[in-house]
């Protein structure tokens, strides 16, 4: 049975930064699709919420890219990989090894997020944090800090990192239904 390591906010929109939620609670169309495809769903922790709390300010990848935040992400990543190893749902030992034949482990990230982006992140290299310029960002190709550290943790255990699929929750115009389309496209790719 395939395993989906799901970004925290897909199951808990209350973790989003202010104004970032696209619906109350769970992004049901995304979770429904994973259920329809038979995935075991494991919710990952939110790296930003556990680092800076619910009232954190919007930030770019450059602002989150600090040694302290990376260490925080590494600590969470260790727990995520540990959970896969000991989770009683992973009854097939090969299920924790994404490189094992027939195993499907997919990380569902959030494109546009400076932490959880898979293919796209928020960037503002010239922004020094002035609140009045908080919208001075662009979306550029790249992995978020959390996703980079999660991949590195898999490699440090001798495991090939899982396939990464991003849904564009932190991109303009995102809706629960558009995220389902993103996931369908990502799983097909």
- Binding residues for ligand SF4 (CB under 6 A): 7-9, 15-16, 46-49, 110, 113, 115-116
Closest of 129, 123, 108, 121 to residue 170, by C-alpha: 121
Question: Whole-number minimum distance, CB 94 to ligand SF4, in Å?
Answer: 27
Strand partners, 121: 140
Q: Considering Cα of 23, then 26, then 32, then 34, what sign does the dihedral take? A: positive
Instruction: List the beta strands (DSSP E) in 128-176.
Output: 138-141, 163-167
CA triple 9-12-15, angle to 5 deg? 65
Cβ proximity to ligand SF4, 5 vs 90, nearer residue = 5
Cβ proximity to ligand SF4, 113 vs 123, nearer residue = 113
Cβ proximity to ligand SF4, 93 vs 172, nearer residue = 172
Question: Whole-number minimum distance, CB 135 to ligand SF4, in Å?
Answer: 17
Closest of 22, 4, 2 to residue 12, by C-alpha: 22
Question: Whole-number minimum distance, CB 145 to ligand SF4, in Å?
Answer: 9
Question: Whole-number minimum distance, CB 47 to ligand SF4, in Å?
Answer: 5
Cβ proximity to ligand SF4, 10 vs 95, nearer residue = 10
Cβ proximity to ligand SF4, 84 vs 145, nearer residue = 145
Strand partners, 187: none
Sheet holding 40-43, edge to edge: 40-43, 3-6, 105-110, 163-167
Question: Whole-number minimum distance, CB 104 to ligand SF4, in Å?
Answer: 22
């Amino acid at each position: 049975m395939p395993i989906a390591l799901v970004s925290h906010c897909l199951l808990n929109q209350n973790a989003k930064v202010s104004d970032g939620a696209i619906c109350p609670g769970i992004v049901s169309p995304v979770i429904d699709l994973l259920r329809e495809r038979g995935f075991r769903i494991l919710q990952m922790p939110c790296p930003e919420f556990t680092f800076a709390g619910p009232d954190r300010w919007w930030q770019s990848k450059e602002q989150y890219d600090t040694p302290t935040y990376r260490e925080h992400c590494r600590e969470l990543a260790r727990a995520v990989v540990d959970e896969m190893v000991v989770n009683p749902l992973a009854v097939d030992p090969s299920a924790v090894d994404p490189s094992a034949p027939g195993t499907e482990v997919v990380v569902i990230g959030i494109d546009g997020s400076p932490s959880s982006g898979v293919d796209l992140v928020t960037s503002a290299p010239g922004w020094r944090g002035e609140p009045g310029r908080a919208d001075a960002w662009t979306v550029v190709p790249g992995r978020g800090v959390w996703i980079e550290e999660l991949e590195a943790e898999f490699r440090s255990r001798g495991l090939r990192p899982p396939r990464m699929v991003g849904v564009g929750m932190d991109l303009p115009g995102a809706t629960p239904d558009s995220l389902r389309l993103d996931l369908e496209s990502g799983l097909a790719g």
